[in-house]
Structure 1
């Protein structure tokens, strides 16, 4: 079933398109030669998991930006991110690497599922972990909400040790594992 990709805020997309047109903005070397032929695909709201305050507190997240996959001739070759700032949407960076390829594979996996979802990304900065967050309410406001127990999370590769990359897990199963990883670091009480 196709994913219900929410509409992208105009300013978010415009900031990335402006950066693509600006020759002085840094692009990863593999993308530099193809700047003109790159297309924005698969826009995903990026939520950041709030710092963990305890093992029994439900997870909270906040919208931090939007990430776009960059396509060239039908192949995902990179990513671009825009961040939400106090003054609006601001281009952040272009990227290439394992999270990009893993995002494309996780989205393809999600598109093959029978259940409709709204795709989002959930970042856990303390673990350098990103997941494809499949929100169970496909019509939800993409700027709000936190992971719900029935949502699915697909950790992107590379995932932290002991967490299976590119395998969907219910939020209520995966987030306690993530939370327990943060607790020994003194990040949870």
Structure 2
């Protein structure tokens, strides 16, 4: 079944298209592949980007928040960069272009998700404390992309590079991966807490 990629908010897409049309924004980007492209580029596959703020070890709902939208920037049949937008008090704004391992890993995970045979809405879920990014496959393909938390039946696919001990590109149900992340985060949180 195809993934159900929802359209990004129109202002977010407009800011990316404006940045792509700006010679200054492109030339100042730390993306040699984007700077060297000859010919047209397009912004495709918009994915909402969420940050995981809290994992509750007791099985409570994890706390997430929408922080932006990511677009793959294509030249011909290949992605040469990605563009992130962010929500500001004035609305959606272009953040930056980038390239690197998450670009290829995202494309690989999306192809992998397409072959799973279930309808999903793709999102990205960042776990900053572990320097980890996952493709979040939300089971409700019609859900509002700007809201929600990982549900027990949702699937998370860690992108490469994944933290040590977590296999990249291995799909996990939320109920399987979040407890593992809780264990990984607990020692760091204990070290950060004040002495009793």
Q: Normalising by structure 1, report the TM-score.
A: 0.94
Q: Distance in 1 between matches of 2:73 and 2:64?
A: 25
SS across alignment from 1:37: coil
Q: State how 1:6-17 maps to structure 2 within 5 Å.
A: 6-17=6-17
SS across alignment from 1:49: strand
**CA deviation vs aligned residue, 1:134-162 (integer Å, no higher than 9, x gap):** 00001000010000110000000000001
**CA deviation vs aligned residue, 1:74-120 (integer Å, no higher than 9, x gap):** 11221110011121101111111000100000001111121100000
Q: State how 1:121-136 maps to structure 2 within 5 Å.
A: 121-136=124-139
2:109 is the counterpart of 1:106: yes
SS across alignment from 2:156: strand
Deviation at 1:126? 1.0
1:49 is aligned, of 32, 46, 52, to 52
Further displaced range: 27-36 or 86-95: 27-36
Give the unaligned 5+ runs of structure 2. Answer: none
> How many pairs are equivalent?
188
1:145 is aligned, of 144, 148, 163, to 148
Give the unaligned 5+ runs of structure 1. Answer: none
- Counterpart for residue 70 of structure 1: 73
Contact 1:55 1:183 (C-alpha < 8 Å) held by counterparts: no
1:58 is aligned, of 17, 37, 61, to 61
Contact 1:70 1:80 (C-alpha < 8 Å) held by counterparts: yes
Deviation at 1:67? 0.3
Contact 1:116 1:136 (C-alpha < 8 Å) held by counterparts: yes
Deviation at 1:35? 6.8
Contact 2:122 2:137 (C-alpha < 8 Å) held by counterparts: yes
For CA contacts below 8 A with separation 6 or more, give which structure has more relative contact order. Answer: 1
Whichever of the two has the greater Rg, that structure is 2
Contact 2:50 2:64 (C-alpha < 8 Å) held by counterparts: yes
